[in-house]
Amino acid sequence: MTNSSLKSISPDGITGAVFALEGIRNSLTLLNGPMGCKFYHSTTSQFLLPRPALQLPVTEGEKPREVSENYLNDWFFRQSRVPCTYLDSHDYVYGTADKVREALLYIRAHIGCDFVSVVNAPGASLIGDDPRELCSEIFPATPTAVIESPGFSTSFWEGTDEAILALLKQAGPKLWGASRSGRKHDRPVVNIVGLSVWQKYAEGNRNEIVRLLERCGIEVGCVLCAGCSLEELRRIPEADLNLVLYPELGRQSAAWLHAELGMPAYICAAPPIGFDAAEKLLRELCAILGTDAAPVLPELEKARALCWYKINGVYNISGRPNGTLFAVRSLPSEETALSDFLTDYMGMIRDTGDIAETKAEEVFADANIIGELMLKKREFCGIEIANPTMGYVDVTEKCTLGIRGAMFLTEQVLNGFMTRSV
Amino acid sequence: MGCAGRGITSAFEFLDRHHLRDRYSRVIYDVLGDVVCGGFAVPVRREYADAVFLVTSGEYMALYAANNILRGIRNFDGDTYRRVAGIIYNERRLEDEDGRVRRFAEAVGLPVLVKVPRSEAFARAEEQNITLMELEGAEREKNVFRTLSELIRRGPELYAAAPLSDEELEAAVLGRKLLREEPETAPATEAAPAPTPVPSAGAETAALRRPPLYGCAFNGAAQAAVRLTDAIVIAHGPKACAFYTLQTISSPGRKNLFNRGVLLPSALSPNFVSTDIGHAEAVFGGMELLNAAVKEALAKKPGAVIVISTCVSGIIGDDLKAVEKLSEPDIPVIALAADGDMSGDYTEGISMALETLVRRIMDVNAPKRPCSVNLIGETAIAANGESNFRVIERLLNEMGIAVNCRFLGGATTAELRQLAAAPLNILCSDTADARSLRDFLVGEYGFAFLDKPLPVGFEATAEWLRTLGAFYGRETEAEAVIERERSAYEEEISRVSRRLKGKKMIFSTINSNIDWLLSAVTDAGMELPFVGVVNYFHRPLIVTAHPEKYPMIQETYDVTVSTEAVHRYKPDIFLSAYASRQEDGVLCDTLPMIPDLGALSAVHLMDRWIRLMDTNRKGAWENDKQLFEKYFA
């Protein structure tokens, strides 16, 4: 039994699967489930990626209409993303195929998109409905993926990894057919695997890693399921290597790409959080791909220098950050990477006990955990590193990975101290 | 308990995971064949079975099942794809059994590949725990299997599935005549059956013949139950269900904390747990998990333990009611069989929870608290729920009236137990769901209700206070409070009208009872040429108590004010349920779904309009949509 929010009723595999597939631009994910499973995914997805709203066709002279303007006559229920089949008790007895068929026909007729996927909700999965053939029949040319079972109470990252794998297996033949080779480029190219648009700062993290790699002479082909286009998916086999940032989100996909397409992978033990981790990743990748990390090293040194100055200012008046207790809750690999950074670089100490009882001065977690600790009148600073958030709308791009990520986290840590009396 | 269909699906996934089919040249799946759900149909999917053999005796029900399998195969394969190898006839020694099987085989166009005779040899092999082929003797029986294995080795000829209708099956097997062969018995005027509709792109509403359910009963029940603050609520299902619900519960908690610095315990830290039904429970049943969760909850000595089922626990047939036996003398265990959305939608889930909690917890003989009221039907999703309560609490306190129980806006089990103590009950809003709860309390317990819900706007507040004063014999106190509210309202309206007088406003709304807005807008001297009302939930609506005063109210189907209406009326302000972009010089804003309570409800909105007018009300950002499409399309 999971306890309430502090032990965290965390997202299930189905949420990982939906947001993996929603991470493809100009795509559409149909949830084969009841409306109760739809709301969270629909309301969340529309804010994850900046992208134009899906449009309904209009006759000449009519005002353009977004799918969310339609109420009951389609499958969107006034929400712009993740339509669903509105399953009810009848469907659990007689099967869901009729509704899936009609929803897919509607989508085919009315909404232009590059990629279509269907995710079975647990109930549909339980009765064994598998819309794969239906999906292929209705979309013979469009690449599709069907997640027949996103699992029961599996983790978010398992759902993500499984969905990306399913996408590669099912859509791969339509995406790249038999021509799986053809790595003909001057600069080395890598795909990035193991990011999810659902993660806080996903876009900033993606852009930071792409920026750093490009400065090292490495081109990024496809950032798989984290804002990629269909065209980028098609070019997956052209890359020289697959870089897995969060291992739990992309390990299986990288292994499959290795087995099927012969693509080597660089799997980070933990994401590149902190200066040392970022430098290690860049140096090792450059060594593998025959490029040079030198162009980025001055930037890294300058960032460290600036951080030293700022940290030293705080240290001189308060002795912090050294010895400060912190607690962290996030994806396992992120917990590891962030803890290493805060421990090794900042000189802080991790409270590894139950986060519900933590006495840490800084807590890195989602807003549910931070809110609950505030309710307990704990004296601490909550630093949001995961969803859900308190509601702060980020406009300027922020990240936790790479050089800029290390600077941002340093800033968060120092401001966490500064809000307290010293 | 558990789901056998899921069990079969899981078994095949297991075999796939272990690459069974890569290791053997022939794999034979011996599975239950009657296709009753998708799980049972897994073995006949094309990716598993290259050839399907039907094993059947001559019993009618066995042949019926064999025919059903052919139906399943045809659903997968269509009319022409060939995948059925034939019939393995497993003899039972019934009268005319050979004839039955033969006629069935001929009718479906399949060969009878072998006949397995009824023989003691099978029982002997079973007793010795060996296969038939290892048994001494029994050559006749062994030869049947040698023939069969040779057939499989060579690769059998395959046929398309051609199942019979029930009528044809009876005719073939039992020798009954087909009805259509007896025209004299058929009604002469009976119309031909309608052809099965073929879904097309234009037939997208066909599957919506049952109206979509608005959310699910599980979610509604959980949202209501967690507001019993000292109860522990257990979601019996996969953690996905609890996760979605937790996000809805905690969202106002996070917003209040972030925007206003207010800590809402029931939202930020609900006593809400999940049994996290996993794969094993989906197959074998989740009662063990649930019992453990209930016992763990009971050990914490809560006011009550409330268990709510999801689609998954409903489908696998877990007996939720059984956990009520674990109740302790002071701690009731209450089962809410919401079964996800199988028992209804979100509001039906709320009703189920609230009515069950009353039945199980309330003490009908609780001693009366003379000058107190219950607030009935507080909504869980309002971000302004707490500030609204404070407004009402202040008005009641000024009248010398206490709140006995907020049902269910954060009450304890002890407070709910005392629900019957208050002499008067007040609906928090005049919605269909709240009225349904009122009808339940009146019908089952004879509760007295004030005929006015919690008030929105000055006029409603004055009437409400007056009625309340009359009920408790506190007319003087009521008039004093009304005068104070009137003075505050008039002062505020006078202030805002300095900016709003003469401004033209149109709006469309999904709200009912909007007199609070209509009268305030009129009092402020604004013009109101058009009001559109959308009946969002297709239920009877009362928009205003004074329709004669507001002839501009019209029904509309557009939740945003249409461009045509803006062109026609040229308003300064237009409001709708959803903000939309209009032309320069028009202030666009939204109307809240749940307005602030009390005399100053509309004034709060008017202050916002003034602020928007005082600033650059059409930001230059609104011109940048093309840039967005340029860079992010």
- In our burial notation (b when 16+ CB lie closer than 10 A, e otherwise), range B432-471 reads ebbebbbebbeeeeebebbebbbbbbbbbbbbbbbebbeb
Whole-angstrom distance, CA of residue B464 vs CA of residue B482: 10
The distance in angstroms from the start CA to the end CA of chain B is 50
Report yes or no: B364 and B339 within 8 Å, Cβ to Cβ: no
Indicate if the pLDDT at residue A419 is higher than 60.
no
Contact between B258 and A392 using a beta-carbon 8 Å cutoff = yes
Report the pLDDT value the prediction gives residue B408, as an integer from 0 to 100: 84
Q: How many CB pairs under 8 A join A and B?
A: 243
Where do runs of H (alpha helix) occur along A319-400? 332-340, 367-375
pLDDT class for B186, splitting at 50, 70, 90? very low
CB A21 within 8 A of CB A145: yes
- pLDDT tens column, B465-493: 999 999 999 999 999 999 999 999 999 99
Q: Please, is B539 exposed, middle or buried when counting C-beta atoms within 10 Å of its C-beta (0-12, 13-18, 19+)?
A: exposed
CA distance B564 to B551: 19
Q: Return the pLDDT at B35.
A: 56
Of A224, A215, A214, A218, the C-alpha closest to A244 is A224
Q: What pLDDT does B445 receive?
A: 96
Residues of chain B with pLDDT > 90, as a percent, come to 52
Q: Compute chain A's Rg from CA coordinates.
A: 23
Question: With 60 as the cut, is the pLDDT of residue B246 above it?
Answer: yes
- Side-chain-side CA neighbours of B589 within 13 Å: the count stands at 17
Higher pLDDT, B537 or B585: B585
Q: How far is CA B532 from the centre of its chain?
A: 29
pLDDT digits (tens, 9 = 90+) for A243-294: 999 999 999 999 999 999 999 999 999 999 999 999 999 999 999 999 999 9
Min distance A353 CA to chain B CA atoms (Å)? 20
Identify the helix (H) or strand (E) that includes residue A210. Answer: helix A202-215
- Out of A5, A106, A152, the one facing B312 most closely (by C-beta) is A152
Query: Where do we find the tokens 């040229």?
Result: B570
Q: Is the pLDDT of residue B6 over 80?
A: no
Report the residue from B218, B243, B282 with minimal CB separation from A10: B243
Q: Identify residue B425 by its one-letter amino acid code.
A: N
Q: Are B530 and B506 in contact (CB under 8 A)?
A: yes
Q: Which residue of B has its CA nearest to A10?
A: B243
Tokens of B530: 């058009």
Whether the predicted pLDDT of B560 surpasses 70: no
- The answer for residues whose C-beta is within 8 angstroms of residue A395's C-beta and 6 or more apart is none
Which ranges of B474-541 does DSSP label H, i.e. alpha helix? 475-500, 515-523
Amino acid B47: pLDDT: 66
B576: pLDDT confidence band, cut at 50, 70 and 90?
Answer: confident
Question: How far apart are the C-alpha atoms of B45 and B177, rounded to whole Å?
Answer: 34
Tens digits of residue pLDDT in A14-58: 999 999 999 999 999 999 999 999 999 998 998 888 887 777 666
pLDDT above 60: residue A330: yes
- pTM of the predicted structure, to 2 decimals: 0.80
The C-alpha atoms of residue B104 and residue B94 are separated, in whole angstroms, by 15
Task: For residue B311, list chain A residues with Cβ-Cβ distance below 8 A.
Answer: 34, 92, 121-123, 126
Domains (range + CATH), chain A: 13-176 (3.40.50.1980), 189-296 (3.40.50.1980), 300-418 (3.40.50.1980)
Does the structure show a pLDDT above 80 at A404?
A: yes
* Interval A186-215 mean pLDDT: 96
**How confident is the model at residue B559, as a pLDDT?**
57
| Range scoring the smallest mean pLDDT among A63-72, B196-205, B290-299 | B196-205
Q: In this predicted structure, what is the pLDDT of residue A386?
A: 92
Quick one: closest CA in A to B563, which residue?
A63
DSSP B371-432: TEEEEE---SS-TTHHHHHHHHHHHHHHHT-EEEEEETSSB-HHHHHTGGG-SEEEESS--H
pLDDT tier, A183 (very low <50, low <70, confident <90, very high otherwise):
low
DSSP characters over B317-382: T--GGGGGGG-BTTB-EEEE--TTTTT--HHHHHHHHHHHHHHHH--TTPPP-TTEEEEE---SS-
The pLDDT tens digits of the residues spanning B67-91 come to 988 887 887 777 788 999 999 999 9
Q: How far is A345 from chain B (nearest CA, A)?
A: 31
Rounded distance between C-alpha atoms, residue B424 and residue B441, angstroms: 12
Looking from the CA of A121 toward its CB, the CA atoms found within 13 Å total: 36
- Are B271 and A4 an interchain contact pair (Cβ–Cβ within 8 Å)? yes
Phi, psi of A325, rounded to the nearest 5 degrees: -85, 135
| Tokens 């062969």, located at residue | B181
pLDDT band at B197 (very low <50, low <70, confident <90, very high): very low
Q: For tokens 């292994």, name the residue.
A: A255
Report angle CA B369, B372, B375 to the nearest 5 degrees: 125
Could you tell me the two tokens for B270? 């609900």
CB B290 within 8 A of CB B336: no
Q: CA nearest A387: which of A331, A337, A316?
A: A331
Contact (CB<8Å) A36/B216:
yes
The amino acid at B115: K
What secondary structure letter does DSSP report for A205?
H
Contact B199 A73 (CB under 8 A): no
Residues 6+ apart with CB under 8 A from B155: B51
Query: For residue A118, which phi and psi values (nearest 5 degrees)?
Result: -125, 130
CB contact at 8 A, B57 and B93: no
Q: How would residue B419 be classed by pLDDT, with cut points 50, 70 and 90?
A: very high
User: What DSSP element (H or E) covers B115?
Assistant: strand B112-116
Residue A187: alpha-carbon gap to chain centroid: 27
| pLDDT on residue B235 | 96
- Is B38–A95 a contact, with Cβ atoms under 8 angstroms apart? yes
Report in angstroms the alpha-carbon separations of B218 from A73, A134, B278, B509, B556.
25, 30, 18, 29, 33
Residue A2 has a pLDDT of 42
Pairwise CB contact (< 8 Å): A390 & B257: yes
Q: Burial level of B136, CB count in 10 A (0-12/13-18/19+)?
A: exposed
Shortest CB distance from B254 goes to which of A63, A129, A371? A371
Confidence band of B111 (pLDDT split at 50, 70, 90): very high
Q: Does the pLDDT of residue B187 top 50, yes or no?
A: no
Contact flag B311-A102 (C-beta cutoff 8 Å) = no
Of A39, A106, A122, nearest to B240 by CB-CB distance is: A122
Ranking A89-98, B298-307, B584-593 by mean pLDDT, the lowest is B584-593
Contacts 24+ apart (CB under 8 A), B279-282: B279/A151, B279/A152, B279/B10, B281/A152, B281/B2, B281/B316, B282/A122, B282/A126, B282/A152, B282/B2, B282/B3, B282/B6, B282/B312, B282/B316
Pick from A79, A87, A107: nearest CA to A36: A87
Rounded to an integer, the average pLDDT of A303-315 is 91
Q: How many CA atoms lie within 13 A of B309 on its CB side?
A: 27
Bigger pLDDT: B594 or A337? A337
CB contact set of B576 (below 8 Å; sequence gap of 6+): B507, B508, B509, B559, B560, B561, B588, B590, B591
User: Hey, what are A162's tokens?
Assistant: 């499984």
Residue A223's beta-bridge partner residues? A192
Arithmetic mean of pLDDT over chain B: 85
Could you tell me the domains of chain B? 50-180 (3.40.50.300), 217-361 (3.40.50.1980), 372-482 (3.40.50.1980), 498-621 (3.40.50.1980)
Chain A residue numbers touching B214 (CB-CB < 8 A): 35
The 10 Å CB-count burial string (b at 16+, else e) for B150-175 is ebeeeebeebbbebbeeebbbbbbee
- Inter-residue contact B232 to B305 (CB < 8 Å): yes
| pLDDT of the residue at A398 | 96
Please give the share of chain A, as a percent, with pLDDT higher than 90. 68
CA dihedral B235, B239, B241, B247 (to 10 degrees): 100
Q: What is the largest CA-CA distance in chain B?
A: 109
Average pLDDT over residues B393-403: 96
pLDDT on residue A421: 45
pLDDT in tens, B496-544: 999 999 999 998 887 678 899 999 999 999 999 988 887 766 666 678 8
Q: Decide if B146 contacts B123 (C-beta within 8 A).
A: no
**What pLDDT is attached to residue B443?**
95
pLDDT value of residue A46: 85
B146-151 contacts: CB < 8 A, separation 24 or more?
B147/B113, B147/B114, B148/B88, B148/B113, B148/B114, B151/B85, B151/B113, B151/B114
Q: pLDDT-based confidence at A405, cuts 50/70/90?
A: very high
pLDDT classification of B175: cutoffs 50, 70, 90:
confident
The yes-or-no verdict on residue B184 having pLDDT over 60 is: no
Give B249-300 pLDDT, tens digit per residue: 888 788 888 877 878 777 888 899 999 999 889 888 899 999 999 999 999 9
Residue B306 is inside which H or E element, if any? strand B304-309
Query: CA A193 to CA A315: how far, in whole Å?
Result: 38
Please tell me the predicted confidence (pLDDT) of residue A225.
Answer: 96
Higher pLDDT, A100 or A320: A100
pLDDT, residue B241, reads 95
